[in-house]
Amino acid sequence: MSDTDTLRAGIAQIAPVWLDREATITKVTDWIEGAANDGCDLVAFGEALIPGYPFWLERTDGARFESPLQKSLYAHYLDQAVDIGGGGLHRVQAAAADHGVHVVVGCIERAADRGGHSVYCSAVQIGQNGRVLSVHRKLMPTYEERLAWAIGDGHGLVTHSVGAFTVGALNCWENWMPLPRAALYAQGEDLHIALWPGNVRNTTDITRFMAREGRSYVLSACALLRREDIGDEVPHAAAIIEGSEAQLANGGSCIAAPDGGWLVEPVADAECLIAVTLHHGLVRRERQTFDPAGHYSRPDVTRLVVDRRRQSTAEFIDE
């Protein structure tokens, strides 16, 4: 296999500066630089990392209707969310361009095209030139996440070329959804990035399964959050801390090969860069017996229709 067949890919398993957008972005840019210094062509971060996952919901009676506490926390979350179209990730984009690294990062998106007061759990891909390539809004928030996040659409179900590889990404339990996976397979995906808020229990089984099913490399990128990461400046910090265990998210980042074997087993309880060199030739070897969108598909029997239009509540027709 030639050097053009290889890609050095990394996972930055880190904790956010929880619910602080700009401080978390500073930390992300530092880890992009660190990944570049390790020779990485691509680096992935966990789900909802900027500014953080809504861990308060299950720890502060998040389903209570008209709760002043919940309204206060949501207002803060909305304030700290990322307006991508308004340049909210410009420092991350600059770091990607400065270091020539493809970045996949989870953020809470404040979407101006939907009025600007709802938030989406979005997986953002930023190219090695610093350009935002795609923003995938999570199709279905999981359980209590629906108390904070709006429902996304198919606009971001796209793939991107990075070296010899075709890269796609999904958020957390979207990775359990067969049809979104199939939508990425159909576009030639052979490097799948699965973003998670962080827990070993989430990644241990599905990472290897997706690799084996897709005959692709799979990077499960996780975050961390410890009780001490909840700063005093967070609204109602004392109430959140009181209801929290020592580890709210313990990591679990890992990497599987196209045959379903581990390259890196789940890593817990540590902020770290996990980096490996991927060989595209291994993808081609595994596709010999099974290609989910090619010779082992039956489009004459089953086909998938994907609506990739960005959803909106209004269409304006001006002169």
**What pLDDT shows up at residue 4?**
83
**What pLDDT shows up at residue 42?**
98
- Average pLDDT of 276-301? 97
Sorting pLDDT into bands at 50, 70 and 90, what band is 2?
low
Query: Do the domain assignments include residue 296?
Result: no
Query: Do the domain assignments include residue 309?
Result: no
- Domain of residue 271: give its range: 3-286
pLDDT digits over 209-247, tens only?
Answer: 999 999 999 999 999 999 999 999 999 999 999 999 999
Query: Do the domain assignments include residue 313?
Result: no
Whether 52 has a pLDDT exceeding 50, the answer reads: yes
Whether 1 has a pLDDT exceeding 50, the answer reads: no
Whether 262 has a pLDDT exceeding 80, the answer reads: yes
Query: Do the domain assignments include residue 318?
Result: no
Options 107, 121, 172, 222, the catalytic residue: 172
Is residue 265 flagged as an active site residue?
Answer: no
**What pLDDT shows up at residue 3?**
65
Query: Do the domain assignments include residue 310?
Result: no
Query: Do the domain assignments include residue 319?
Result: no
Largest CA-CA distance found in the chain, in angstroms, rounded: 60
Options 47, 109, 213, 286, the catalytic residue: 47
Is residue 138 flagged as an active site residue?
Answer: yes
Query: Do the domain assignments include residue 293?
Result: no
Helix (H) or strand (E) holding 224: strand 224-226
Q: Roughly what angle, to the nearest 10 degrees, separates helices 90-99 and 21-37?
A: 10
Options 40, 107, 109, 138, the catalytic residue: 138
Tokens of 230: 């909840």
| CATH number, domain with residue 28 | 3.60.110.10
* C-alpha distance across the termini of the chain, in Å: 57
Whether 168 has a pLDDT exceeding 70, the answer reads: yes
Asked if residue 152 lies in contact with residue 139, where contact means CB atoms within 8 angstroms, the answer is yes
Give me the number of domains the chain comprises: 1
State the average pLDDT for the chain.
97
Is residue 40 flagged as an active site residue?
Answer: no
- Closest to 92 in 3D by CA, of 48, 131, 145: 131
* 230 backbone dihedrals φ, ψ, rounded to 5°: -90, 105
**What pLDDT shows up at residue 319?**
82
Rounded-to-integer distance, Cα 105 and Cα 169, Å: 10
